[in-house]
Amino acid sequence: MSALTPIKIRAEVDVVERPAVLFGAQKVAKALRAVTGVDWPIELTICEMGGLSAAAGDIAVLSLLSELGREEPFEETVARWRSRTERLVADGVIVMLLTVFRAVSERRTPQGQRLIERIRRLDRMALDLSHDVGVTVVDIDRALAHVGGRVLGTDYRISSRLAADVAGHSFALSLLSLGLDDNIPPATQERARTHLGPLREIDSVVRRRIAKARQAA
């Protein structure tokens, strides 16, 4: 086999999302190892918020979670993200946006309702940027909602290992669906996705893990 092209991931995400990104990169590495028999080089760099440095061909993973506490008109938020993602895409960077899980523990309070509304608007913005700019959306909200926040023991803060694992699975699937033809042959990508397994299988896997943990307790 000829020299393997490294997959370079630059992740500027919230602290609570870092385990999910790490798990996702590990899942991709294991899937590629399973279907190729070699260790595909994956370079994962975690950046501080505002510290992203990415070049053409890199994968920039960006978080919307930090936007929850920002006080500004939402139109300004949209304009800022559109400008940033357009610059990155124009520079040849592959941009991935993580959505925010729409689960708020204090949802019955006025503050909780405002938080839910902002999460909804941010997630919708991610979809619009996908359509208009060409970024890839990693739908963390859909992945976690598929299993359920109560089962995973988390809300939007991804505060449990199980939640990070499920979010990481969603990230891994998105990564292998980007069309990384410059890094990985298409047939290899497809085989790795099949090995990883679809999102719909995650629910049963999580519930088996929970049952096993309860039996061991």
The confidence score (pLDDT) of residue 203 equals 67
Q: Are 66 and 49 in contact (CB under 8 A)?
A: yes
Q: Which domains does the chain have, with CATH numbers?
A: 7-216 (3.40.50.1110)
Examine the pLDDT at 168 and tell me if it is beyond 70. Answer: yes
Q: What tokens does 200 get?
A: 């719909």
DSSP state of 17: G
The confidence score (pLDDT) of residue 11 equals 97
Across residues 58-67, what is the average pLDDT? 95
In the beta sheet, which residues pair with residue 37?
Answer: none
pLDDT digits (tens, 9 = 90+) for 175-195: 999 888 888 999 999 999 999
Percent of the chain with pLDDT over 70: 92
Task: State the alpha helices, DSSP H only, in 49-133.
Answer: 74-90, 110-132
Instruction: Return the ∠ at Cα 164 (arms to 161 and 170), rounded to 5°.
Output: 145
Examine the pLDDT at 217 and tell me if it is beyond 60. Answer: no
Examine the pLDDT at 205 and tell me if it is beyond 90. Answer: no
Examine the pLDDT at 20 and tell me if it is beyond 90. Answer: yes
Min mean pLDDT across 8-17, 21-30, 144-153 is at: 144-153
Instruction: Return the ∠ at Cα 200 (arms to 198 and 201), rounded to 5°.
Output: 75
88-108 b/e with 16+ CB inside 10 Å = b? Answer: bbeeebbbbbbbbbbbbeeee
The confidence score (pLDDT) of residue 39 equals 94
What's the whole-number average pLDDT of the chain? 91
DSSP SS3 for 10:
strand
pLDDT digits (tens, 9 = 90+) for 117-156: 999 999 999 999 999 999 999 999 999 998 889 989 999 9
Task: Describe the crossing of helices 74-90 and 110-132 by its angle, rounded to 10 degrees.
Answer: 30
Examine the pLDDT at 216 and tell me if it is beyond 70. Answer: no
The confidence score (pLDDT) of residue 81 equals 97
Secondary structure of the chain: what % helix, strand, coil (to 5)?
Answer: 55, 10, 30
The confidence score (pLDDT) of residue 69 equals 85
Examine the pLDDT at 210 and tell me if it is beyond 70. Answer: no
Task: Label each residue of 62-78 as H, E or C.
Answer: EECHHHHHCCCCHHHHH
pLDDT digits (tens, 9 = 90+) for 75-133: 999 999 999 999 999 999 999 999 999 999 888 898 889 999 999 999 999 999 999 99
Residue 134 phi/psi, 5-degree rounding, is: 100, 20
The confidence score (pLDDT) of residue 211 equals 63
The confidence score (pLDDT) of residue 2 equals 61
What distance lies between CA 13 and its chain's CA centroid? 9
